[in-house]
Structure formats: C-alpha cells, structure tokens
Amino acid sequence: MAKPVKSLLKGVFALLLLPTLGALPTAYSQSTNDKPLNVVIPFAPGGGTDVLTRMVMPKVADKLGVTAVIENRPGAAGAIGAQFVARANPDGKTLLVGSVSEIGINPSIYPKLAYSVERDFVALTALAAAPMVLVVHPSSQIKVAADLVRLAKENPGKINFGSAGTGSGAHMAAELFIFETKIKLTHVPYKGTGAVTADMLGQQRDMVLFAPLPAVAGIVRSGQLKAIALTGKQRSSAMPDVPTFIEAGIPGFDMDYWYGLMAPAGTPELARNALHLAVLEVLSRPEMIADLSKQGLVPTITTEKEFAAFVREDMAKWAQVVKAADIKADQ
C-alpha cells in the first residue's frame, strides 16, 4: 500500500498564507499568458480522475481569475494524456491531473514510455486519495470477497476482471488481490472505467472490477452494481455499509488510489506558487471537503518537495510489484 499523502488537516500551517489569496489573480496573470487554464484528464469521462477534476479545477481556475478548459485525453492507461502535457508549453496554463496509474505505475509497465515523470513534470501538489472497491453485477454469485476467492480457485482463469487499461490502477489493484489470495483471474483491458461498467451492465455480467471509489460511487448507489469490499483500515463515509477487505478476511490486500496536480517541467515558480495556493484554498472549503467525501475522496495537500518525494516512493514501490508479478504492457 502506498503511504497516504499528507492529510489536508496536517497541512493547516499553510493556511497562514491565505491572506495573500486576494492577490492570486494578479500574480498568476503576471506569470502566464492570457489563455484559459487547460486541465487534461488522461482517462475517459466517468472515471475517478474525471469526477475529481470537474469538482475541483473549475473552482481553482476561478480563484485565479481565469476560465478552466477541461479535456479528456484517454489511452494507454493515462500515458497519452500525460505525454501531451509533458510536451506542452510550460507557461502555467497546461496541467495534468495525474494519478497512481500514469505517474506511479506506467514507468514500470511501458519500457518505451514517451515521457519521464521526473524529467518532464513538476509535481505541484497532491489533490485527493480514495480507496479501491470491488464491484460486481447484483446478479453475481459473488456476495462477499471470499466468494470471489473460492470461485476463482474452483475455476482458475475463468473469471474476468476489467480495468481502464494495462497498468491502470484498477489493473494493478486486481494484480495485488491475485497475488495476496493466490488465485488466477483473466484481465480484460478497456479504455476507461465507464466502458467497463457499461459492459458489466450488459453482456459481461460475470466480470468483476476493482475501481477507485469515486469512479463507481454513483452507479453503486443507483443499485446497478454492487460494492463487495473496499481497501483501507476503516470503512468509507461514502459507503458506510460496505466492509473493508480487512473485515472480509483479506488483510494483506490494500491500496490507495491517489490523485495529484502535475505541470510541465519549466513552469514558472510564480505560476506554480499561485496554483498551489489556489488549490489549498479550494480544498480547505468545508463544502468542498463534504462534497469530495460523498464521492469517497479524501482531500490532501503537500508542498512540491513532499509530493515529488511521494511520487518517487510510489514509482519505486510499483516497480517492485510489476517485476514480482511479471506484468507486461501487452497483457
């Protein structure tokens, strides 16, 4: 499990900087051009990154006195969107809402990745973290986590799991589960979590999915899919009736899905500082904390140095997992 990024509440010292927030639009405009703030989501609509970005980033842009243009650039478990931002003009107006998938995992999955996390990006700040949740169709034989383990052992390789692509957080969560429970499942990669859930509601009702909670919270609440268990040491306030995997008797399986804000290397310090303060102010709002919590998201904030260190640790951890599981990009 990745170490949780520093809690927003533990970063309260930064609130001392909030009196300068009134000057943010001026500071930001002085260091950037007059274009809108272009925020890239490296996954298809409907996933956890999409949910978080559309909740937070328009308000960040508003705090900076600009308009946010949010675009989805999916593909290759987030690599296509990340590559676009890595090659963008470092003017403070193009950002990536990155995650464990394309930042933490992809460098170990794709040997010819067209970007380098440490060379091509500045890790501005964490944004939020969420548990992973196992979901199935309501008609599934799987009622508790132990059912999946039992059925998989009775039918090795015959149960499919979907993901947002090879190397995505959903894929790696399933691989961790497979490793911990010593079972065999078959991976079916998609272009996004929304595509997986659509298939689960239609033709692939026997498929299982390990997904970031915000990506499936709505569809689970609607009763179209059923949440079986989620990662973490305690239940999520977004779904208090869903047990943890620890409660389900699988304590070794745990994983946080983290999200953070990345900018192209070379982005001016003044613009980075303005962005950081704007994010801090938005994530500190009680109504934002409450809204994110309903989606299963815990707001987080870090300094650039702290976030960069966290990213390096996360990349190293997933490199070990990928090697141990012998995961290849063509799986």
Q: What residue type is 106 in one-letter code?
A: N
Q: What is the pLDDT of residues 44-96, one digit of tens each?
A: 888 889 999 999 999 999 999 999 999 999 988 889 999 999 999 999 999 99
pTM here is: 0.85
User: Residue 295 has which token pair?
Assistant: 């989606």
User: Residue 108 has which token pair?
Assistant: 């170990």
The string of DSSP codes covering 209-222 is EEEEHHHHHHHHHT
Tens of pLDDT along the chain (331 residues) come to 334 444 444 444 444 454 455 556 666 666 567 789 999 999 988 888 999 999 999 999 999 999 999 999 998 888 999 999 999 999 999 999 999 999 999 999 888 899 999 999 999 999 999 999 999 999 999 999 999 999 999 999 999 999 988 888 899 899 989 988 999 999 999 888 888 999 999 878 889 999 999 989 999 999 999 999 999 889 999 999 999 999 999 988 888 899 999 999 999 988 898 899 899 889 999 999 999 999 999 998 888 999 999 999 999 989 988 887 777 765 4
Written in H, E and C, the secondary structure of 70-126 is EEECCCHHHHHHHHHHHCCCCCCCEEEEEEHHHHHHHHHHCCCCCCCHHHHEEEEEE
Residue whose C-alpha is closest to residue 7's, from 308, 306, 242, 317: 306
Go through the domains of the chain in sequence order and give each one's CATH number: 8-130+256-325 (3.40.190.150), 131-230 (3.40.190.10)
